[in-house]
Amino acid sequence: MDYVFIVISGEKVANLIDMFVTFARYLCGPEIYQLRTNNCKSTLYTRLIDQWLLLRNRDQAVFVEGLEQLIINNDISATCLQSLKESIAKLSVHPECSKIHALLFVDNKCLSLYSSTPAKELAPADILFLIILTHCVSEESGHLESFQVLLSGSDVEPKCLPHAVHVVELLSQVFLVYLVEMGDPLVSATLFETFHHLHRLRFIQVQREMASIQMGYENVDLSIRKLNGYLKKCKVKNLESSQKQLIKKWDVLKGKYREYLKTLSNEALLRAESLAMNLLDSLKEIHNLTAVDDSILKCSAAHVLQAIPKVRQDLADFNEYFLVKGIKNFSLGSYPFRHQIVVYLEEFPGLVHFLYIDRNTHKVTTPSLDMQAEKAEFIQKKIWSMVTFAHSHLQEGHTAIIWKDTIFTYGYFLWFEDSSGDSLKFTLTPDLGSKIPGILHEDYYMKLKTAMHPKLPAQKVRAYELFVMYLGLVTASSVLEQTRKLASTIWELKSLPTHVINLI
């Protein structure tokens, strides 16, 4: 609200600005001024940006804004899950920890997740944010760091849902994260919605378009009425007076908008602009009362400290195994691909690399890059360039392209299915402006589903993304044919039903 982000960079800055705003939202919500007054938050903000830049330049999943699952055997997986389950059972008996998640990460990969029953499902974007956050903690092994953050949630539009986050490097490159829900999620979501509508209303006032102002005013009025209803049920000290002030200020501001809509008086609109600042102050005050709670942060941290030793003990024997898997999750010759390697080479001759992304869960399947191999950096640059090129064409509305350079042939395919696995055709060319494909700033693919299939609920449309890189001698027709087989093969290896994709 009312802040200008300025980026000076030699590369394209659109994505950088989006991410700077995103990290500010995660740490401060609408109170971005905290970055100036709170040294801890401003330091963490800088570290988040630095780590994000480092990770996106070396990790495939972070670069495409997806989640990579660590591939481990069933026994170790069950041990990890059981350990988290036991720790959650002990923590959730405390009232302040009743809605809690426990997550294990190995470097940048997801190892395990367990949540208490009342806790809301975590959004992939928030899990990706937590991965970046783990790289910001102290290098001192075993040291617990705690933060208050505002997660975006799983709705189409990001929210600001308050959570306490406790992070510890459990073993070398193995991070344990506890995430505790704070406050009232309905109040938090509606409060952020009110901030959003007020910001939009103040923006469109400059245009002096009556229809737009009418709609903007009605949106703010509706969200404030919803917020007022939730606040009445919220048990927070000193909230009642702030709530009354909010309604009083909105009633005055509402009168000025009504006057303008009746008389088109510029004086009334100018007065409304100044009164909106007072309303904004009241909203920020309510945000601080309902979303910020140092007592829960400290109390939950004390409980978490007692749970950590048992989880560390349960997983200590697997530390070296996790370290190896963190570096090399799987290659074309490793489990579970060992038995398919001969078939793989026969059916996909010339295939150098691929990235398969389920854009419903945003889980990434891709061979690990061996950065010790000859020309590894060269191959990595080609992969990064492939993704950037493909996404630039996706922004123009192209969902299937094949192209070449002097060495490799590349293919990019994005397709949609219904809940039965049947291919969905589309006739509308998406127009998402300059939005960057990804999930951290906002879920680009959810908006793409809505734009391409407006008659279907976005949750019932499944989207999949596949990048392929072949040796340059492979023809376009071979790339198309092999990509169909590759998509089905990946589904088989992931123990999912085989499906036939229509890439044209």
Distance separating alpha carbons of residues 494 and 106, to the nearest angstrom: 20
- 460, 452 in Cβ contact below 8 A? no
User: C-alpha angle with apex 357: 356 to 363, nearest 5 degrees?
Assistant: 120
Distance separating alpha carbons of residues 291 and 164, to the nearest angstrom: 10
Domains of the chain with bracketed CATH: 14-57 (no CATH), 67-182+293-323 (3.30.450.30), 186-291 (1.20.120.330), 330-493 (no CATH)
How many C-beta atoms lie closer than 10 Å to residue 49's C-beta?
17
Element (H, E) at 109: strand 109-115
Q: Specify the amino acid at residue 194.
A: T
Sequence-ordered list of residues with C-beta below 8 angstroms from that of 288, at least 6 positions apart, any chain: 31
Distance separating alpha carbons of residues 214 and 230, to the nearest angstrom: 25
| CA-closest candidate to residue 464, choices 418, 401, 407 | 418
Distance separating alpha carbons of residues 331 and 71, to the nearest angstrom: 11
* Beta strands 67-68 and 363-365, pairing class: parallel
Element (H, E) at 197: helix 185-205
The per-residue pLDDT string of the chain (504 residues; one tens digit each, 9 = 90 and over) reads 556 777 776 556 667 888 999 999 999 988 888 888 889 999 999 999 999 999 999 999 999 999 999 988 899 999 999 999 999 999 999 999 999 999 999 999 999 999 999 999 999 999 999 999 999 987 666 789 999 999 998 877 778 899 999 999 999 999 999 999 998 888 998 999 999 899 888 888 877 777 788 898 899 999 999 999 999 888 887 888 999 999 999 999 999 988 988 888 888 888 888 888 899 999 999 998 888 888 899 999 999 999 999 999 999 999 999 988 887 776 654 444 433 434 455 678 889 999 999 999 999 999 888 777 778 889 999 999 999 999 999 988 889 999 999 999 999 999 999 888 888 877 666 666 667 899 999 899 998 888 888 888 888 899 999 999 999 888 999 999 888 888 888 877 664 433 333 332
The pLDDT, as a whole number, for residue 331 is: 61
Q: What letter does residue 71 receive in the DSSP assignment?
A: -
| CA-closest candidate to residue 74, choices 313, 316, 326, 335 | 335
User: C-alpha angle with apex 201: 219 to 220, nearest 5 degrees?
Assistant: 25
| pTM for this predicted structure | 0.90
Q: For residue 365, what are the β-bridge partners?
A: 356
Q: Specify the amino acid at residue 142.
A: G
